[in-house]
């Protein structure tokens, strides 16, 4: 297969982990006889500094003209600490999702045997947890009508039936491929938007008779993820709830640096780690590249190349088993490897195993 990949390194640790994802993809393509062309674009704070726009038109066109986007992270403290800033790096991420029509964010949460004890949760709670959270990505409060003054501010949690139906369909279809259990997360006892979510989901249930569908308020779901994460198979929810719950899910694996994601929809899919730009670690060679590398595995799997994705997952598992890990996993007591060293180890495994 011939790949044309848009690479958006972004801010903070983004450029460092991006290199590792690119190197791994290139190694896999070489191993399996694919060709790949990487083209680079700017996004986030780096794009604001360069052209005043967190998602320039040139970057949008680059994405549209590519098979997939390999994205890293955006964010910079100089914007976080300025509440009056009118343009922010995160607006670039939201614009990318909206303009590419990426309404479905797929975030797998799984455990690694050698890292069970790295989770702050007890072994007997997290061992064997493996579920997918599907987050609606282009609606809700992040995109609804907004107002802000010195005394009043509001964000509108706006959803249409069409938006809800299409993301629920993604959830049902993923459940069919897995253990046929779908949990719809909402706040229907309080929010009108959530009541529409629940109504539409109940109407769609008969289309998927093989799927066991249950409903859970978001506060209960947040608690259930900590008390019994193995309960979940596929979880589907709205934008804001999904943002919070998937970050909570990162503790199950033991490090946010282990979780990749895919954003799919109407146009070019985007593959990225779920973590942020961690600007404090910029240039220190300590950022965990595994989520970025696993997002490459998701990229291959999206295009039906299961063996390629499997090899990457095998290489990541082997690196963890061998103790080739960054400080977020090894801690102060274990031998620590840098971002570049972990990436190079995995590339060598892909080329030789």
Nearest to 340 by CA among 24, 114, 71: 24
To the query of whether residue 247 is one of the catalytic residues in this protein, the response is yes
User: How far is the first Cα of the chain from the last one, in angstroms, to the nearest whole number?
Assistant: 22
* Per annotation, catalytic residue among 117, 214, 219, 321: 219
Q: Are strands 2-10 and 68-73 parallel, antiparallel or unpaired?
A: parallel
To the query of whether residue 243 is one of the catalytic residues in this protein, the response is yes
To the query of whether residue 282 is one of the catalytic residues in this protein, the response is no
How large is the angle between the packed helices 306-321 and 14-32, nearest 10 degrees? 120
Instruction: Collect all residues with Cβ–Cβ distance below 8 Å to 141 and sequence separation of at least 6.
Output: 155, 156, 157, 239, 240
Longest CA–CA separation in the chain, Å? 62
Instruction: Collect all residues with Cβ–Cβ distance below 8 Å to 45 and sequence separation of at least 6.
Output: 10, 11, 54, 74, 75, 76, 78, 79, 89
* Per annotation, catalytic residue among 224, 247, 282, 302: 247
Alpha-carbon distance of 212 to 203, in angstroms, equals: 14
Residue with tokens 């991420």: 93
* Per annotation, catalytic residue among 243, 328, 337, 349: 243
Alpha helices in 128-217, H assignment, sequence order: 161-177, 192-204
To the query of whether residue 219 is one of the catalytic residues in this protein, the response is yes
Alpha helices in 137-182, H assignment, sequence order: 161-177
Instruction: Collect all residues with Cβ–Cβ distance below 8 Å to 120 and sequence separation of at least 6.
Output: 251
Alpha-carbon distance of 61 to 94, in angstroms, equals: 16
* Per annotation, catalytic residue among 23, 76, 118, 142: 142
Query: Do 218 and 229 meet the contact criterion of CB atoms below 8 Å apart?
Result: no
* Per annotation, catalytic residue among 187, 328, 337, 349: 187
Query: Do 288 and 257 meet the contact criterion of CB atoms below 8 Å apart?
Result: yes
Backbone angles phi, psi at 212, to 5 degrees: -80, 115
| Residue 73: strand pairing partners | 10
Query: Do 71 and 271 meet the contact criterion of CB atoms below 8 Å apart?
Result: yes
To the query of whether residue 187 is one of the catalytic residues in this protein, the response is yes
What residues are annotated to the active site?
A: 142, 187, 219, 243, 247
């Amino acid at each position: 297969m011939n790949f044309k990949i848009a690479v958006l390194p972004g801010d903070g640790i983004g450029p460092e982990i991006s290199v590792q994802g690119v190197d791994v993809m290139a190694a896999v393509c070489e191993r399996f006889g694919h060709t790949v062309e990487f083209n680079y674009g700017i996004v986030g704070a780096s794009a604001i500094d360069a052209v005043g726009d967190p998602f320039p038109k040139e970057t949008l066109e680059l994405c549209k003209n590519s098979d997939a986007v390999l994205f890293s992270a955006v964010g910079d403290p100089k914007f976080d600490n300025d509440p009056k800033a009118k343009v922010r790096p995160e607006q670039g991420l939201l614009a990318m999702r909206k303009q590419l029509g990426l309404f479905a964010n797929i975030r797998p949460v799984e455990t690694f045997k050698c890292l069970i004890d790295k989770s702050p949760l007890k072994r007997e709670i997290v061992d064997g947890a493996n579920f997918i959270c599907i987050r609606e990505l282009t609606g809700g409060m992040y995109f609804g009508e907004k107002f802000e003054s010195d005394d009043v501010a509001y964000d509108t949690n706006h959803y249409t039936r069409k938006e809800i139906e299409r993301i629920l369909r993604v959830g049902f279809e993923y459940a069919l491929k897995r253990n046929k259990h779908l949990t719809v997360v909402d706040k229907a006892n309080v929010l009108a938007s959530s009541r529409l979510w629940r109504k539409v989901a109940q109407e769609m249930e008969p289309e998927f008779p093989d799927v066991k569908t249950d409903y859970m308020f978001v506060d209960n779901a947040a608690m259930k993820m900590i008390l019994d994460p193995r309960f979940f198979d596929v979880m589907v929810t709205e934008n804001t709830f999904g943002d919070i719950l998937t970050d909570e899910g990162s503790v199950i694996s033991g490090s946010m640096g282990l979780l990749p994601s895919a954003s799919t929809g109407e146009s070019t899919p985007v593959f990225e780690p779920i973590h942020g730009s961690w600007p404090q670690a910029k240039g220190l060679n300590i950022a965990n590249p595994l989520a970025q590398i696993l997002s490459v595995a998701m990229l291959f799997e999206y295009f039906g190349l299961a063996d390629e994705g499997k090899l990457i997952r095998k290489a990541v598992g082997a690196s963890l088993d061998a103790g080739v890990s960054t400080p977020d996993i090894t801690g102060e007591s274990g031998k620590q490897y840098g971002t570049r060293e972990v990436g190079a180890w995995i590339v060598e495994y892909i080329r030789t195993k």
